[in-house]
Amino acid sequence: MSLQLPPLSLYIHIPWCIQKCPYCDFNSHAVKQGIPEQEYISHLLDDLTQDLSWVQDRAIQSIFIGGGTPSVFTAAGIARLLAGVRSRVQLADDCEVTMEANPGTFEAERFAGYVAAGVTRFSIGVQSFQQTQLTALGRIHSSSEAIQAAQLAAKLPLHSFNLDLMHGLPGQSLADAMADLQQAIALEPPHLSWYQLTIEPNTAFASRPPVLPEDELLWEIQEHGHQLLQAHGYQQYETSAYAKAGHQCQHNLNYWRFGDYLGIGCGAHGKITLPKNNSILRTSKIKHPKGYMDLTRSYLDLQRIVAADELPFEFFMNRFRLLEPCPISDFTAYTGLPVETTSAAIQQAIKLELLQQQTDHWQISSKGARYLNDLLTHFI
């Protein structure tokens, strides 16, 4: 069956940050001898130019500038970057442009400049409002700076802004976790990403693991937090994301709905549908800034066609992060596979009450959302 072209987004990676956090496994590098901002932006735009054949006459629905800490770049630099993007690709009229920011770099004039450049949404990495936790997490900002950053974002002419908040932190009690969440809610962000700290390989925490709360306490934190967020008008729409009505992150929605995205910048990943070949392409760019900015090499590091027997898992791994119904027709439209290829796995998931099926859609159950990994094993 022929593949349907899904919506297209653009991810832009800026790899530098002031200080590497001990829990972070992202492709980021602490600033040591200044940032080659202008040189890197030139490479980002050349990288996008090399990827233009994959756009396939689509407008970009959303842009996400991630890192690292993109707010280490100047407003003039972000303006040049977004102007260069607009000159190469068409942006949808309502294109959401998100930029990650650190509260420690949040300054009124600077961030007004980012908005003037075209940023419509900030994602602010708070993680905690408690100073002992911020120190343990290696964050460079203070609790008061986090509050001031959110207050400033609320005054800017933005469509939305997000606060990133962690729970399950070293030595954290239920009361501590709820105090963090209550402080975040009091700042009235339209969107809250609230997720559990996990120890990832090849991080400082992996080599020197902190003592984290027991599983029973983690579930208690999640249950109390979920109820608190709902009571204040936040609806959970994704595994770790809550939003007020109309403020879901459009970029992440496109990821989880199995949309396409170009990835430019150090280590950036992309997913591209190729209807002519009836295939889906995964791409990644050269990871280290020095190699990425070597003019003698292509920016593309790896590309691979996703094997047909991997597609069901890839589709559902993304789609079942969302709590919204999944149209059954999307599976065939975006994988090219007949829905019958998943029938046995679907029926088993339904039998275990991890999934429900209606005439035209699948719906992950509350049990399925809680035991998402168990649900996904049926599609491997």
Q: How confident is the model at residue 206 (pLDDT cuts 50, 70, 90)?
A: low
Higher pLDDT, 140 or 163: 163
What is d(CA 206, CA 201) in angstroms, rounded to the nearest whole number?
6
3-state class (DSSP) for residue 13: strand
Q: What's the pLDDT tens digit per position in 301-314?
A: 999 999 999 999 99
**pLDDT for the residue 25:** 56
- Write down the pLDDT at residue 22: 60
Terminal-residue alpha carbon distance, the chain: 21
User: Residue 26: what pLDDT?
Assistant: 67
Phi and psi for 164 in degrees, rounded to 5?
-90, 125
Question: Residue 33's pLDDT band (boundaries 50, 70, 90)?
Answer: confident
Q: What is the DSSP string of 203-244?
A: SHHHHSPPPPPPHHHHHHHHHHHHHHHHHTT-EEEETTEEE-
What domains lie within the chain, and their CATH numbers? Answer: 8-254 (3.20.20.70), 324-380 (no CATH)
**Each residue of 247-298: pLDDT tens digit?**
999 999 999 999 999 999 999 999 999 999 999 999 999 999 999 999 777 9
Q: Is the pTM of this model over 0.85?
A: yes
Please report the beta strands in the chain, taking only residues with DSSP state E, as ranges in sequence order.
Answer: 8-14, 16-17, 29-30, 60-67, 91-101, 121-127, 160-167, 191-196, 235-238, 241-243, 260-265, 269-274, 279-285, 300-305, 326-327, 355-357, 361-364
In angstroms, the CA 315 to CA 188 distance is 33
3-state secondary structure of 154: helix
Q: Say if CB 351 and CB 310 are below 8 A apart.
A: no
Q: How confident is residue 68, by pLDDT bands cut at 50, 70 and 90?
A: confident
- What pLDDT, on the 0 to 100 scale, is given for residue 2? 79
Q: Is the pLDDT of residue 20 over 80?
A: no
Residue 299's pLDDT is 96
* Mean pLDDT confidence for 37-60: 97
At 335, list the tokens: 């994988």
What percent of the chain is modeled with pLDDT above 70? 96
Compute the radius of gyration of the chain from its Cα atoms.
21
Judged by average pLDDT, the poorest of 22-36, 39-53, 66-80, 134-148 is 22-36
